[in-house]
């Protein structure tokens, strides 16, 4: 059956090319949209990924790591007194503007935590950057790929950050957030950049002691510390992603793009397969005349769909990896775990099988006597 299906596909090269185009187009866009969406989700939770804390304590009603109201420093001491807490560290997330050499301004998110742990990060540093440099006066770190935003910053350059002197002490790497660029500093320095009192923090980051259950410690903190939200690492990641999807049109836009890719691929594949069936209706009549049953024709069409799906998906993934290579070099974050390839292939196979079912209706109506008519 597979051999017959392959011969019929190769017999009409032009129609085969048209069908493959639709499958390749769908495979390319489904993988691209899925990879970009996962990359965006990674950027939405970049700060959470920078920390090895098990729990995040934030102001009540907090939904996202990038947007939270302040809490008083005493919350830190209250958390430190909870049994099962190995360590608890303050962290600050605020906002500011950096004055560029041209005289205009670039908005940034100011991230601060205490030496020597720097619990909120940064962890991924460019070669030559030392984490302890962040404890120096006026010191800041920015992302290497974002330095052009501030006038091609080099180590030692001085910039005005919200009216306060700052000095570039190093670069982070592979830390491109979704939104404003991150500027890392010591806790007190970040508070000065944001012009808030030194007893104002945004989060308390908690590491649970070995032998203690993370959920049990989380419940204790939530019960004993007033007016706070206590998130597990994964819970805060999920909450931050849901925040961006609910408050912005990201989900709708990516859903529409993926839907268009599937729809266009379905239309192209359906039309070319149906046209091929119409042009070869006498061939199907011949198969019926020599004893082929309708079930045989049904399996033949499904075999063709499977061949188109495998060939088109393979070519589409090849093109996707070429585009991904250049996109990643340009700073984009595209993630494609193995399960995404499986899901994308499922979509492509669904397109091909669905298109075949439309054509099969015409094939099953073919009468064996058709081949004997002039």
Q: What is the dihedral of CA 13, 15, 21, 24, to 10 degrees?
A: -70
Per-residue model confidence as pLDDT tens digits over 242-289: 888 887 777 777 777 777 777 777 777 777 766 766 666 566 666 666
Q: 13: exposed, middle or buried (C-beta count within 10 Å: 0-12, 13-18, 19+)?
A: exposed
Place of tokens 């070429």: 322
Q: Which stretches of the chain are DSSP H helices?
A: 2-11, 13-44, 46-50, 74-80, 187-194, 214-224, 233-247, 250-279, 281-289, 294-329, 338-363
pLDDT of residue 366: 57
| Cα distance between residue 67 and residue 94, in whole Å | 9
Q: How confident is the model at residue 358 (pLDDT cuts 50, 70, 90)?
A: confident
- pLDDT grade for 110, boundaries at 50, 70 and 90: very high
Work out the average pLDDT over 113-119: 90
Check whether 192 has a pLDDT greater than 70.
Answer: yes
Distance CA 105, CA 352 (A): 52
Closest CA to 370 of 304, 297, 287, 308: 287
Read off the DSSP letter of residue 202. Answer: S
Cα angle value 11/13/14 (rounded, 5°): 135
Question: How far apart, in whole angstroms, are the C-alpha atoms of residue 336 and residue 31?
Answer: 8
Q: Are 162 and 96 in contact (CB under 8 A)?
A: yes
Three state DSSP letters for 263-317: HHHHHHHHHHHHHHHHHCHHHHHHHHHCCCCHHHHHHHHHHHHHHHHHHHHHHHH
Structure token digits, residue 363? 């094939």
Mean pLDDT value across the chain: 82
Higher pLDDT, 273 or 139: 139
Q: What is the pLDDT of residue 1?
A: 60
Lowest mean pLDDT among 24-28, 222-226, 307-311, 366-370: 366-370
Question: 208 is written with which tokens?
Answer: 């649970």
Q: What is the pTM assigned to this prediction?
A: 0.73
């Amino acid at each position: 059956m597979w051999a017959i299906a392959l011969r019929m596909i190769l017999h009409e090269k032009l129609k085969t090319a048209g069908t493959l185009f639709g499958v390749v187009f769908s495979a390319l866009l489904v993988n691209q949209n899925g990879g970009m969406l996962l990359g965006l989700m990674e950027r939405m939770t970049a700060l959470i990924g920078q920390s090895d804390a098990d729990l995040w304590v934030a102001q009540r009603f907090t939904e996202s790591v990038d947007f939270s109201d302040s809490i008083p420093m005493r919350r830190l001491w209250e958390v430190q007194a909870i049994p099962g807490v190995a360590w608890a560290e303050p962290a600050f997330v605020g906002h500011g503007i950096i004055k560029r050499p041209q005289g205009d301004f670039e908005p940034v998110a100011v991230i601060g935590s205490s030496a020597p742990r720097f619990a909120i990060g940064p962890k991924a540093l460019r070669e030559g950057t030392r984490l302890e440099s962040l404890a120096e006066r006026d010191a800041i770190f920015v992302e290497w790929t974002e330095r052009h935003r501030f006038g091609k910053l080099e180590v030692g350059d001085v910039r005005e950050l919200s009216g306060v002197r700052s000095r570039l002490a190093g670069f982070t790497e592979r830390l491109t957030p979704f939104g404003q660029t991150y500027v890392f500093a010591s806790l007190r320095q970040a508070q000065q950049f944001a012009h808030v009192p030194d007893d104002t923090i945004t989060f308390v980051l908690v590491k649970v002691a070995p032998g203690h259950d993370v959920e049990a410690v989380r419940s204790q903190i939530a019960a004993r510390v007033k007016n706070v939200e206590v998130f597990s690492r994964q819970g805060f990641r999920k909450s931050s992603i849901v925040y961006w999807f609910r408050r912005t049109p990201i989900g709708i836009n990516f859903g529409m793009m993926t839907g268009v890719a599937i729809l266009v691929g379905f239309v192209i594949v359906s039309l070319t397969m149906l046209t091929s069936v119409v042009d070869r209706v006498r061939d199907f009549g011949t198969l019926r005349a020599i004893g082929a049953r309708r079930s045989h024709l049904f399996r033949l069409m499904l075999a063709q769909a499977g061949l188109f799906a495998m060939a088109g998906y393979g070519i589409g993934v090849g093109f996707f990896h070429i585009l991904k290579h250049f996109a990643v070099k340009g700073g984009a974050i595209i993630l494609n775990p193995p399960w995404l390839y499986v899901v994308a292939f499922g979509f492509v196979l669904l397109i091909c099988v669905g298109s075949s079912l439309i054509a099969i209706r015409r094939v099953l109506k073919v009468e064996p006597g058709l081949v004997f008519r002039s």
